[in-house]
Chain A
């Protein structure tokens, strides 16, 4: 009997681990599929919610934590270029306006899937500064191969902190 209880506990723990951890690359929330998620409507992203165009880009809250909001769409990322401080955990919140897209941060081990109707959230830390490319890593249509974003990791001391309502992104060229 003890064995059985142990087995059930182990299974529970495995299920918990599967549901609560961030998977290696794909940060899908299981809650969405179980009906728990309240994702934004991909058709009305520009009208309401946190993905209106004036709220996209990097934001900093008074406590100092950094959030990047992005939209992936056929066939551009918005904003196309994001600047983040090095060595600081950066929270990404992304969604898609049409098909499934994926951000693959070249030079790192990070990736994020953008799913229509769902907010994907993950926190990444970029240790070294530099310029990285973020190609779309999920076939999303005819222009998929030219869909590319840019990431600029700026040393912490050179990164001016943001005002509460300010959003920052960079010029990609």
Chain B
């Protein structure tokens, strides 16, 4: 047998085949990476919130009808104010509330993932679509200051030293302690799904929520985000932040 015919017999295909396709084919045939979960026994599963930012959820929320929301909001007016500004500082203002955030809190009140004896009963009266309508209505309400409205803030002018502390946290955060700047999720610099705007919120309500996040009383934040941040804040920083935002000094005031 001649050398040439031997070579012809051994060759499987053209040259590029042996160079490019063969290695790829062989690697494709190899067993893939093991993606199965490992064998560590898992602790009892804890789900913070039944809401997930899937396409279906976003579709429901964006289908909200603000006019229907206006009619439904009569049930909320007594505590949260006709214009979305609460008369009682312990209740949150809803004017200009982020739609995703509002809807998620309503679902969490309904399912008991966020515990509130008052709100649970009320939220049970609203379906997912009702909550989307309400969210659309409240998102539409103006947050611009109007001397005629009954808003509960400014509650107090922030102490100047605390105000600088708050500004530092809002704008820069504290990297050493793993505290990201507030404005990188709550706006106006950038937004994260489910993060409400804070700049027209009631200070007393904000401080209460920060406290609840840090001691775990409120644990409905997805992937432990706010809980791990609030845990890092000192009591003084919590006061400073809520005072600053509560006084209507937030960086995004009237910008939306």
Are A and B part of the same complex?
yes
Residues of A within 8 A of B (CB): 1, 4-5, 7-8, 11-12, 14-16, 19-20, 29, 31, 34, 36-39, 41, 43-47, 49-50, 52-56, 59-61, 67, 71, 73-80, 93, 97-98, 119, 121, 135, 141-143, 145-150, 164-167, 172-173
Tell me if B54 counts as interface (CB < 8 A to partner A). yes
Question: Quick one: closest B residue to A119, CB to CB?
Answer: B35
6 A-B residue pairings within 8 Å (CB atoms): A11-B19, A11-B22, A12-B26, A47-B52, A77-B178, A146-B172
Chain B positions 174 through 197: 1 when the CB is less than 8 Å from some CB of chain A, otherwise 0: 111111110111000110100000
Q: Which of B38, B178, B184, B229 contacts A61 (CB 8 A)?
A: B38
Known: A16-B23, A146-B175. A74 touches B184 (CB 8 A): yes
A94 to chain B, nearest CB (A): 13
Known: A1-B11, A52-B46, A53-B223. A80 touches B23 (CB 8 A): no
A45 and B172 alpha carbons, distance in the complex (Å): 28
What is the count of residue pairs linking A and B with beta-carbon distances less than 8 angstroms?
167
Contact B192 A148 (CB under 8 A): no
Contact A165 B42 (CB under 8 A): yes
- CB-defined contacts of A119 to chain B, threshold 8 Å: 35
- CB-defined contacts of A41 to chain B, threshold 8 Å: 54
Tell me if B157 counts as interface (CB < 8 A to partner A). no
Tell me if B160 counts as interface (CB < 8 A to partner A). no
A80 to chain B, nearest CB (A): 5
Q: Which of A5, A76, A142 contacts B228 (CB 8 A)?
A: A76
A107 and B243 alpha carbons, distance in the complex (Å): 39
Known: A14-B23, A15-B23, A98-B192. 8 other contacts (CB 8 A): A16-B23, A44-B52, A45-B223, A141-B190, A142-B181, A146-B180, A150-B178, A165-B42
Contact B190 A54 (CB under 8 A): no
Tell me if B40 counts as interface (CB < 8 A to partner A). yes
- CB-defined contacts of B192 to chain A, threshold 8 Å: 74, 98
Contact B40 A61 (CB under 8 A): yes
- CB-defined contacts of A61 to chain B, threshold 8 Å: 38-41
Tell me if B224 counts as interface (CB < 8 A to partner A). yes
- CB-defined contacts of A39 to chain B, threshold 8 Å: 35
Tell me if B150 counts as interface (CB < 8 A to partner A). no
Contact A67 B223 (CB under 8 A): no
Contact B52 A76 (CB under 8 A): no
Known: A55-B43, A141-B190, A146-B174. A16 touches B27 (CB 8 A): yes
Contact B43 A67 (CB under 8 A): no
B246 to chain A, nearest CB (A): 22
A53 and B47 alpha carbons, distance in the complex (Å): 7
Question: Quick one: closest B residue to A63, CB to CB?
Answer: B39
Tell me if B256 counts as interface (CB < 8 A to partner A). no
- CB-defined contacts of A93 to chain B, threshold 8 Å: 38
A103 to chain B, nearest CB (A): 13
